[in-house]
């Protein structure tokens, strides 16, 4: 680990990609990072508490805990994430005196994060070169005054990242609506937004329908467009159980990710020695953006198989009882040509038939997916096709079957449940208005992409981010940075320093907050928060560590104080009461959010409660009350000759916009991040050598965008695709290159060419 003020040396070395994930080296890597951040005592305190019943919910991904909690209920990356927050390093006012904002802006994302926890509120005033200390009251008075001075509430935006807990998310959306706007963009806009639209249209739900037990007991699990070894490591233990119970796994990816192939359990003797468990029974090396075509092909084969042996393949009982649109859908799928499907998938017919045979053999199937699907132009249509596929054999609502979108941030699903969305339903707004006796605005707000455009054009003037790193998480970095700089005021409620603090509006505020691992005492009573995981389990998280500084406030308190200062005495909402007592917020939630009745009581039970999914009781909350088949048009990304389809993805040593070390161990990439992984045959065709320096140039209707100085790594990526790390490559993603319907940036589908550097 390098010194605190230097970046690790950028000196690429490449080793062969691994074909197994999470063995003993993983545990040592977790400890190494943790101990570089804090003392052995604090490391042990966090690790003993992570994901335990009365402990700290892992601030990493949203994968659920096993009902039978194990002593070590965490993975290597979870340990890194929690100790990145629990770090003993501190940023004080002297730090901001030493570095100008312009100087901080030249530092890497790594460096900014490594400086440690933020400890007191800071302000940048118009024309100032440095942040200066400011009291909480002065900071919040300024923000409140500026909000009140806006010509319209819709000139303000309130961004939420999925690290935020339920109580704070509920309070923020309440404040935003009481102030008068639905401008609530969130990280989900860039993440599983396509999932919400796809599942909403097909099944009337926005979330997954399966439990861990379903995964364990399924006959066939598809892992499509996700990298669980890095991004949801404990999912591998669940998949190992699937295998042990006789289930099969089909992995569909443009890269042969280590975690899809084989798993060595870090906490079991047989994971330490030996070869571990083989995971994927079949690896489908798909062409980028070819997943919809794959499922169309599988659906075509199912229809043909039913023709050949009527009454044996499709579940007509389920289809007739629960769905609509089968006939139109079947007609459309039959018309799609195999030539198109094979071209889009890059597969042979024999390979697709092999998957089909596995489907025929199975009595239950689950499809899991993540960013490889949602961040594609036709992501929503791909998810509709996945739903068609499952519905054909009644694989919704029975044990071992269903949809499993694998969520990113630990509470990203909960934040949406709590009403953080720019287009919440009238039912939700009615309930909110009734509970708090006001009329919430009804017109939709800005999502992330629309919000950036509005700031650029001067239509939005104040940006408040609660958690996250908006400027690095969003596409088209140059444009987005200008959009932020155009603002009157940018403010962030944050635990750690990041780029969003160095790209400032006229005024800028850093509002430091307690992290999930910090103890929060209000009036002598310990406060705890709640989260909802990827499988709709709602449970508690208790901070355990002494707060990083005595000046920190909880997110809830910051929002409550801001709300009172902005809305003044005329607001009849009990902000002070809620800001001081999370139980009070939960009481309100119990009357506003469906499924949260008796919230305080039920969530106090060990492990909390599960929200369930209506589709498991054959209830489909679509406008028709039925599950909807959908006839998607055939679609595949068109990539001009000499170009590649770039995906911007995560390395093993990073949490979203923040990297912990310049390594991607499973992919064999060490000591560098500006690398682009390309298939050797594509490189040969372009006349570009492994190890050559290139610029990545993205091609879009409004012109070209450039990311300079990348090293080419010859890699088994599928033909025609390329992979490079986010957020360094966000500059290449055009703001209006978005998924149809969901408006999610196409971070996995950017047309680029490689331009050799002289």
Are the CB atoms for 432 and 419 separated by under 8 Å? yes
Residue 159, interface with ligand SF4 (CB under 6 A)?
A: no
Question: Is 226 near ligand SF4 (CB under 6 A)?
Answer: no
Distance separating alpha carbons of residues 363 and 212, to the nearest angstrom: 18
Work out how close the CB of 152 gets to ligand MGD at its nearest, in angstroms, rounded to a whole number. 26
According to CB under 6 A, which one of 29, 216, 232, 665 is a site residue for ligand SF4?
232
How far, in Å, CA of 696 to CA of 379, rounded?
24
Q: Answer yes or no whether residue 404 interacts with ligand SF4 by CB under 6 A.
A: no
Which region among 7-15, 95-103, 662-670, 726-734 touches ligand MGD (by CB under 6 A)?
A: 726-734
Q: Are 720 and 644 in contact (CB under 8 A)?
A: yes
Candidates 75, 636, 639, 658: give the one binding ligand SF4 (CB under 6 A).
Answer: 75
Shortest Å distance, C-beta 191 to Mo ion: 3
User: What is the rounded CA–CA span in Å between residue 651 and residue 662?
Assistant: 8
**Is residue 515 within the footprint of ligand MGD (CB under 6 A)?**
yes
Instruction: Supply φ then ψ for residue 367, to 5 degrees.
Output: -115, 125
Q: Is 694 in the site for Mo ion (CB under 5 A)?
A: no
Smallest gap from residue 371 Cβ to ligand SF4 (A): 15
Angle formed at CA 295 by CA 294 and CA 301, multiple of 5 degrees? 95
Shortest distance in whole angstroms from residue 65 CB to ligand SF4: 7
Q: Using the rule CB under 6 A, is 717 a contact of ligand SF4?
A: no
Q: Which is nearer to ligand MGD, 187 or 739 (CB)?
A: 187
Residue 263 interacting with ligand SF4 (CB under 6 A): no
Work out whether 161 is an interface residue with ligand MGD (CB under 6 A).
yes
Binds Mo ion by CB under 5 A, chosen from 191, 473, 661, 739: 191
Q: Is 77 in the site for ligand SF4 (CB under 6 A)?
A: yes
Q: How far is the CB of 59 from ligand SF4 (least distance, A)?
A: 8
- Looking at the DSSP bridge assignments, the partners of residue 493 are 466, 511
CA–CA distance, 420 with 676 (Å, rounded to integer): 35
Contacts of 427 (CB under 8 A, 6+ apart): none
Least Å from the CB of residue 167 to ligand MGD = 12
Which among 555, 463, 542, 539 is positioned nearest to 504, based on CA atoms? 463
* By CB under 6 A, residue 461 contacts ligand SF4: no
Q: Is 106 helix (H, G, I), strand (E, B) or coil?
A: coil
**Can you tell me the distance from the alpha carbon of 388 to that of 629, in angstroms, rounded to the nearest whole number?**
6
Site for ligand MGD in 210-249 (CB under 6 A): 224-227, 230-231
- The answer to whether 92 touches 119, Cβ cutoff 8 Å, is yes
Where b means 16+ CB within 10 Å and e means fewer, 669-688 reads bbebbbbbbbbeebbeebeb
Contacts with ligand MGD by CB under 6 A: the residue count is 59
Give the one entry of ligand MGD, Mo ion, ligand SF4, none that residue 291 binds, where binding means its C-beta sits below a cut-off of 5 to 8 angstroms depending on kind. ligand MGD
Residue 58 found at the interface with ligand SF4 (CB under 6 A): yes
Instruction: Work out the number of other CB atoms within 10 angstroms of the CB of residue 350.
Output: 7
Nearest approach in angstroms of CB 228 to ligand SF4 is: 9
408 scored as a contact of ligand MGD (CB under 6 A): yes
- Nearest distance in Å: CB 80, ligand SF4: 8
- Alpha carbons 201 and 208: distance in angstroms, whole number: 14
Stretch that binds ligand MGD, among 197-205, 241-249, 533-541, 648-656 (CB under 6 A): 648-656
Please say which residue, 205 or 406, places its beta carbon nearer to ligand MGD.
Answer: 406
Minimum gap (Å) between residue 371 Cβ and Mo ion: 7
With CB under 6 A as the contact rule, the residue among 21, 26, 104, 191 that binds ligand MGD is 191
What is the closest distance, in whole angstroms, from the C-beta atom of residue 617 to ligand MGD in the complex? 29
Q: Which is nearer to ligand SF4, 413 or 477 (CB)?
A: 413
Residue 233 found at the interface with ligand SF4 (CB under 6 A): yes
Instruction: Specify whether the backbone of 672 is left (phi greater than 0), alpha (psi in -120 to 50) or beta.
Output: beta
Q: Which stretch binds Mo ion (CB under 5 A): 4-12, 400-408, 442-450, 452-460?
A: 400-408
Strand, helix or coil for residue 148: helix
CA distances from 462 to 154, 298, 528 (A): 10, 48, 30
Q: Shortest distance, CB of residue 656 to Mo ion, whole angstroms?
A: 7
First-last CA distance in the chain: 33
Helix (H) or strand (E) segment spanning residue 470:
helix 470-473
378 Cβ partners below 8 Å, 6+ apart?
A: 289, 292, 632, 635, 739, 740
196 membership: H or E segment, kind and range: helix 193-203
Binding residue for ligand SF4 (CB under 6 A) from 17, 23, 60, 394? 60
Residue 601 contacts residue 618 (beta carbons within 8 Å): no
Determine the Cα–Cα distance for residues 312 and 297; give it in Å rounded to an integer. Answer: 19
What's the closest the beta carbon of residue 498 comes to ligand MGD, in angstroms? 4
- How many CA atoms within 13 Å lie on the side-chain side of 498? 25
Binding mask 69-108 for Mo ion (x = CB under 5 A): ----------------------------------------
d(CA 494, CA 497): 7
**Residue 740: other Cβ atoms inside 10 A:** 16
Is 288 a binding residue for ligand MGD by CB under 6 A? The answer is yes
Q: Would you call 207 exposed, middle or buried from its count of C-beta atoms within 10 A (0-12, 13-18, 19+)?
A: buried
| Site pattern 652..681 for ligand MGD (x: CB under 6 A) | --xxxxx-----------------------
Q: How far is CA 282 from CA 261, 321, 358, in A?
A: 9, 33, 10
**Does 408 contact Mo ion by CB under 5 A?**
yes
Residues belonging to the chain: 758
Instruction: Output 73 or 628, the one with its CB closest to ligand SF4.
Output: 73
Site string for ligand SF4, 618-637 (x = CB under 6 A): --------------------
- Per CB under 6 A, the segment of 355-363, 512-520, 525-533, 670-678 that binds ligand MGD is 512-520
Position closest to ligand MGD via CB: 408
Interaction of residue 63 with ligand SF4, rule CB under 6 A:
yes
61: contact with ligand SF4 by CB under 6 A: yes
Q: Closest distance between Mo ion and the C-beta of residue 190, in Å?
A: 7
The answer to whether the beta carbons of residues 235 and 379 sit under 8 Å apart is no
User: Residue 300 binds which entry of ligand MGD, ligand SF4, Mo ion, none, with Cβ cut-offs from 5 to 8 Å by kind?
Assistant: none
Minimum distance, C-beta of residue 655 to ligand SF4, in the bound complex (Å): 9
The residue among 70 and 130 lying less far from ligand SF4, judged by its C-beta, is: 70
Alpha-carbon distance 500 to 245, whole Å? 47
234 lines the binding site for ligand SF4 (CB under 6 A): yes
Q: What is the 8-class DSSP label of residue 524? A: T
Say which entry of Mo ion, ligand MGD, ligand SF4, none residue 733 contacts (CB below 5 to 8 A, set by partner kind): ligand MGD
| One-character DSSP codes across 534-595 | TT-EEEEE---BPPS-TT-B-HHHHHHHHHHHHH-TT--S-HHHHHH-HHHHHHHHHHHSTT
Non-local (6+) Cβ contacts of 99 within 8 A are 130
**Does 730 help bind ligand MGD (rule: CB under 6 A)?**
yes
Non-local CB neighbours of 76 within 8 Å, separated by 6+ positions:
22, 26, 27, 29, 30, 233, 266
Q: For binding to ligand SF4 (CB under 6 A), which residues are involved?
A: 58, 60-61, 63, 74-75, 77-78, 232-234
Residues that bind ligand MGD (CB under 6 A): 60-61, 77, 161-163, 187, 190-191, 224-227, 230-231, 252-255, 257, 286, 288-289, 291, 370-372, 376, 408-409, 466-470, 473, 493-496, 498, 513, 515-516, 555, 647-650, 654-658, 726, 730, 733, 747-748
Residues of this chain that interact with Mo ion (CB under 5 A) are 191, 408
């Amino acid at each position: 680990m390098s010194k605190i003020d230097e970046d690790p040396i950028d000196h690429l070395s490449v080793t062969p990609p691994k074909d197994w994930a999470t063995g003993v080296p993983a545990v040592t890597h977790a400890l190494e990072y943790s101990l570089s951040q804090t003392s052995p005592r604090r490391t042990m305190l966090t690790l003993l508490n992570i994901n335990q019943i009365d402990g700290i919910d892992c601030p990493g991904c949203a994968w659920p805990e096993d009902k039978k909690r194990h002593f070590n209920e965490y993975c290597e990356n979870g340990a890194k994430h929690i100790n990145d927050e629990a770090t003993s390093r501190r940023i004080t006012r002297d730090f901001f005196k030493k570095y100008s904002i312009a100087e901080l802006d030249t530092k890497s994302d790594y460096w900014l994060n490594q400086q440690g926890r933020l400890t007191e509120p800071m302000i940048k005033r118009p024309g100032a070169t440095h942040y200066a200390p400011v009291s909480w009251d002065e900071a919040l008075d300024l923000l409140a005054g500026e909000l009140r001075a806006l010509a319209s509430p819709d000139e303000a935006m309130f961004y939420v990242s999925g690290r935020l807990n339920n109580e704070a998310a509920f309070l923020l959306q309440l404040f935003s609506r009481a102030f008068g706007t639905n401008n609530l963009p969130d990280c989900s806009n860039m993440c599983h937004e396509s999932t919400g639209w796809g599942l909403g249209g097909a099944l009337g739900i926005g979330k997954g329908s399966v439990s861990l037990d379903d995964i364990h007991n399924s006959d066939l699990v598809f892992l499509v467009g996700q990298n669980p070894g890095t991004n949801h490591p404990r999912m591998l233990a669940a998949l190992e159980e699937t295998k042990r119970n006789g289930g099969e796994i089909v992995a569909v990816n443009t890269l042969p990710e280590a975690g899809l192939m084989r798993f060595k359990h870090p906490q079991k003797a047989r994971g330490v020695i030996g070869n571990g468990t083989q995971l994927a029974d079949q690896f489908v090396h798909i062409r980028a953006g070819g997943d919809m075509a794959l499922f169309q092909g599988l659906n075509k084969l199912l229809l043909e198989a039913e023709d050949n042996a009527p009454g044996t393949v499709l579940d007509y009982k389920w289809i007739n009882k629960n769905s609509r649109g089968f006939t139109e859908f079947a007609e459309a799928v039959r018309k799609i040509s195999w030539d198109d499907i094979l071209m889009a998938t890059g597969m042979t017919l024999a390979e697709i038939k092999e998957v089909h045979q596995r489907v025929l053999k199975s009595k239950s199937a689950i499809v899991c997916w993540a960013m490889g699907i949602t961040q594609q132009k036709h992501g929503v249509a791909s998810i509709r096709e996945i739903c068609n596929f499952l519905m054909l054999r009644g694989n919704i609502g029975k044990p071992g079957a269903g949809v499993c979108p694998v969520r990113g941030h630990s509470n990203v699903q909960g934040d949406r449940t709590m009403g953080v969305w720019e287009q919440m339903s009238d039912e939700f707004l009615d309930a909110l208005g009734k509970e708090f006796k006001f009329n919430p605005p009804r017109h939709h707000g800005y999502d992330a992409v629309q919000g950036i455009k509005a700031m650029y054009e001067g239509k939005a003037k104040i940006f408040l981010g609660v958690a996250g790193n908006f400027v690095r998480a969003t596409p088209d970095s140059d444009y987005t940075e200008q959009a932020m700089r155009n603002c009157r005021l940018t403010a962030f409620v944050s635990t750690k320093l990041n780029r969003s603090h160095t790209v400032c509006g006229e005024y800028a505020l850093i509002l430091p907050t307690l992290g999930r691992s910090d103890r929060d005492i209000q009036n002598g009573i310990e406060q705890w928060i709640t989260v909802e995981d990827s499988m709709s389990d709602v449970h508690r998280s208790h901070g355990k560590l002494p707060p990083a500084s005595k000046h920190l406030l909880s997110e809830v308190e910051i929002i409550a104080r801001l709300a009172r200062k902005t809305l003044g005495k005329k607001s009849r909402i009990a902000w002070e009461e809620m800001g001081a007592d999370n139980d009070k917020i939960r009481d309100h939630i119990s009357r506003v959010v469906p499924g949260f009745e008796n919230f305080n009581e039920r969530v106090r039970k060990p492990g909390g409660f599960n929200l369930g999914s209506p589709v498991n009781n054959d209830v489909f909350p679509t406008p028709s009350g039925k599950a909807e088949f959908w006839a998607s048009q055939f679609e595949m990304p068109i990539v001009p000759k000499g170009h590649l389809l770039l995906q911007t993805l995560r390395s093993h040593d990073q949490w979203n916009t923040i990297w912990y070390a310049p390594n991607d161990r499973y992919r064999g990439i060490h000591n560098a991040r500006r690398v682009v992984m390309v298939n050797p045959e594509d490189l040969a065709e372009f006349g570009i050598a492994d190890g050559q320096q290139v610029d990545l140039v993205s091609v879009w209707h409004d012109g070209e965008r450039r990311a300079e100085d990348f090293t080419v790594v010859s890699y088994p990526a599928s033909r025609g695709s390329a992979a490079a790390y986010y957020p360094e490559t966000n500059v290449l993603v055009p703001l209006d290159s978005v998924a149809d319907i969901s408006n999610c940036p196409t971070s996995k589908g950017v047309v680029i060419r490689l331009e050799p550097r002289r």
